[in-house]
Amino acid sequence: MKSHANSAVFIGIDRGGTWVRFCGLDARLRRVFSERHPSPLIEDFPALIRKVLDEKNVPRSARCLAATKGAWTEPRHKDFIRKALKNRLAHVGVISDMEASLKAALAGKPGIAVLAGTGAVVFGMNAKGETLKSGGLGPQHGDEGSAYNVASVHNIILTGKTAPFDRAKVSKTASGARNVLSLAKFGDTMALSAVTLGRIKLAGEAARAVRGLGLKSPLRAAYDGSMMKDDFYRAEVFALLKIYTGIRKILPVAAPDSAPWCAHAAAGTKGLQLWKKNFQH
């Protein structure tokens, strides 16, 4: 029989469009393991979780909080994951990945999270605890400002044709945004047009969240994802956001990995207090 003496008892999981990240903490909130795997379809997500938990010898008594894309627009995903894992873990919580990013970066303070990687979405919260999601409609409907969107628009500009949507090619298409950004930085007009349109659309979604929540200056703005981590792209998104909203000061906060925050949140009040102490905003 395997011993659970040094096992993780608080598990944090963050499923994004490209990767699933795991973090395990022991009873003293020390990190036991951290790893990532390619992001599977939602139907295969519980099987991946089980595989990692078994490999890490995580006991059934462990508490887990999983953040996943799609949980906000498809609440049934939460029930699906909880039911699929009920015989493996005593407690499983499920929230949206954008909610996890906002709370990990701002520790409960009002502000927005602008997330633009493979997909794109803006999520905000005001001082009353009211939340608002803007964008994030999925690649089939544009996901404007995302890597997939920018790369797709660039292809349309180059070829004059719109390729039929193929979900299996979303990640591959999105990976082309890195090259589009590089070309734009060197002044390539077609690449710059695609990048500019993406920044305009993303800033517009952010402005909708800011106005809808009544957020004021100074605005805390967490950011994450391959597009928003790019200085060239992010600077103009926030500059446009100031113009659209009249916000004079934006306080950018690079969002930390959400998986460790989820693990601390799984530990309850003590875990969140430790997170807030160690991650200053």
Write the pLDDT tens digit of every residue in 28-49: 999 999 999 999 999 999 999 9
Query: 45-104, pLDDT tens digit by residue?
Result: 999 999 999 999 999 999 999 999 888 878 899 999 999 999 999 899 999 988 998 999
Rounded distance, CA 211 to CA 40, Å?
A: 35
In this structure, the chain runs to a length of 281
pLDDT for the residue numbered 1:
39
Q: Which amino acid is at 51?
A: K
185 against 142, higher pLDDT? 185
3-state secondary structure (DSSP) of residue 57: coil
Q: Which two tokens stand for residue 259?
A: 């998986």
Tell the residue number behind the tokens 């993406």, with chain if given. 198
Burial class (CB in 10 A: 0-12, 13-18, 19+), 137: middle
Mean pLDDT throughout 177-188? 96
The reply to whether CATH 3.30.465.10 applies to domain 10-99+257-278 is no
Rounded distance, CA 127 to CA 110, Å?
A: 5
Query: 49-60, pLDDT tens digit by residue?
Result: 999 999 999 999
Provide the residue ranges of all domains of the chain, joining segments of one domain with +.
10-99+257-278, 103-254
Strands 19-25 and 91-96: unpaired
**Two domains, one topology: 10-99+257-278 and 103-254:** yes
Q: Which amino acid is at 219?
A: L
Report the CATH architecture of 103-254.
2-Layer Sandwich (3.30)
pLDDT for the residue numbered 6:
67
Q: Which two tokens stand for residue 138?
A: 């999925």
pLDDT for the residue numbered 280:
53
